[in-house]
A and B are shown apart, each in its own frame.
Chain A
Amino acid sequence: MNPSRMLLGFVITVPLIALLAAGLGRDPRVIPSPLPGREAPSFQLPVMQTSAPFSVQEPGPGEIVDLAELRGQVVVVNFWAAWCVSCRSEHVPLSNLASQYEGEDVRFFRILYNDQPENAAALIDRMGGQSFPTLLDTRSGTAIRYGLTGVPETFFIAKDGTVAHKQVGPVSHDLIAQWVDQLLAEEWTGEAPSDAVDGAVPAGTLLPGEDTGLEGA
């Protein structure tokens, strides 16, 4: 075969195959979020009414939770719905950990996504109550600002107000504890978060050995 023709063949096919391999090799279900490393979108949401009181000291039903007032504390925000079956597996670990970390600089909130408060309250009752509040986001404005693609999704917000990690799919006890411990250990100097990091997870916020593939990193 003509060597120049062979070379031309290589020049065309090798990059194509390499690009195909890269494109087809990635998980299409992973939608990289630009939020980690950026300031968490603000929210002011009312606490949902539940029949059982929260065991953790928190604002009561109807009171407004303002994320901006929680600077200096680690915030765990979990989006859920009563119709979401996989959200149920998160109920116990979240509820237990919220009680376990009570008194420390960490706050737990669930935000109800696209569901009736009565359904959520009834489910919480059936599951034996929840130690911390669920907030109401009736028109999904907060969910949309957090780039929600479904439920459950959990955001770990550092003391400086930046999103440290977004977990798509159910969170386990260990995963929550790992992130909360790490973020609690971080010093907070009172400085505003730097918004310079563009879509990247800042160095040092990833746990060793943790599957961070969901960040598309």
Chain B
Amino acid sequence: MNVARQLPMALVVGLALVFTLSLVFTLSLMPTPVPAQEVELPTTRTVVPDPEQFDAAAPTDDAELEAEVRKLAGQLRCPTCQALSIADSPSELAREMEGVIRLRLQEGMTPEEVRESFVEAYGEWILLSPRPSGFNLLIYILPFAVLLLGGVIVVVGARKWLRNPAEPGEGMSRA
């Protein structure tokens, strides 16, 4: 048996394993929100709150403000949905949260302050992209680190293999 001939296959399998593991790991760091208690199910809700009650935070004609609202709403996680932003969620709570974003911006809060105000109530969980600091850095760095590591393994393995090619007529050679 020629060990050198089996090396490429071993490399491919090893790399695939490392990539799969890192992918699963990255995904596992992202919590999927399934609250233990009842959540609103927009499709099955029968109660429709009075629209007049929500006018104060209704969209305005201010395009700049609305763009900022949409941007912030796209960065915050809808608490009653599965992996949806407030901007993408059809739920009532998400609309309310969008209204709160609008009101807070109108009150003069900066987008960063608005984001922080939601983090204060919900924790960092509310941010769809975790802040790149502390332990969170891992999910930003790890994929690239694994890619680099994989590249190094391929280069080192390939060099070794080229330097020490299989002897003709040995092992699984078809020649």
Do A and B pair up? The answer is yes
A30 to B31, CA, bound (A): 9
Stretch at the interface among B42-50, B59-67, B163-171: B42-50
Chain B hits for A24, CB < 8 A = 28
In the complex, how many residue pairs between chain A and chain B have their CB atoms under 8 Å apart? 126
Interface residues of B in 31-57 (CB under 8 A from A): 31-40, 45-47, 49-50, 53-54, 56-57
- A83→B37 contact, CB < 8 A: no
Instruction: Across the interface, name the chain A residue whose C-beta is closest to B26.
Output: A23
- A149→B123 contact, CB < 8 A: no
Q: Is A72 an interface residue (CB 8 A)?
A: no
Interface residue count for B (Cβ, 8 Å)? Answer: 43
With A20-B21, A29-B35 already in contact, the answer to whether A147 and B121 are too (CB < 8 A) is yes
Q: Is B105 an interface residue (CB 8 A)?
A: no
Q: Is A205 an interface residue (CB 8 A)?
A: no
Least CB distance from B65 to A in Å reads 18
Main secondary structure of the interface of A (DSSP, over half): loop
Q: Is A115 an interface residue (CB 8 A)?
A: yes
Chain A hits for B118, CB < 8 A = 144
Q: Is B112 an interface residue (CB 8 A)?
A: no
Least CB distance from B145 to A in Å reads 11
A53 to B126, CA, bound (A): 39
A168 to B126, CA, bound (A): 17
Instruction: Across the interface, name the chain B residue whose C-beta is closest to A25.
Output: B28
- B122→A84 contact, CB < 8 A: no
Interface residue count for A (Cβ, 8 Å)? Answer: 49
Chain B hits for A148, CB < 8 A = 79, 93
Q: Is B22 an interface residue (CB 8 A)?
A: yes
Chain B hits for A32, CB < 8 A = 123, 125
- A141→B40 contact, CB < 8 A: no
With A147-B121, A149-B33 already in contact, the answer to whether A20 and B24 are too (CB < 8 A) is yes
Which of B25, B40, B121, B125 has a CB less than 8 Å from the CB of A144?
A: B121
- A31→B93 contact, CB < 8 A: no
- A144→B37 contact, CB < 8 A: no
- B49→A116 contact, CB < 8 A: yes
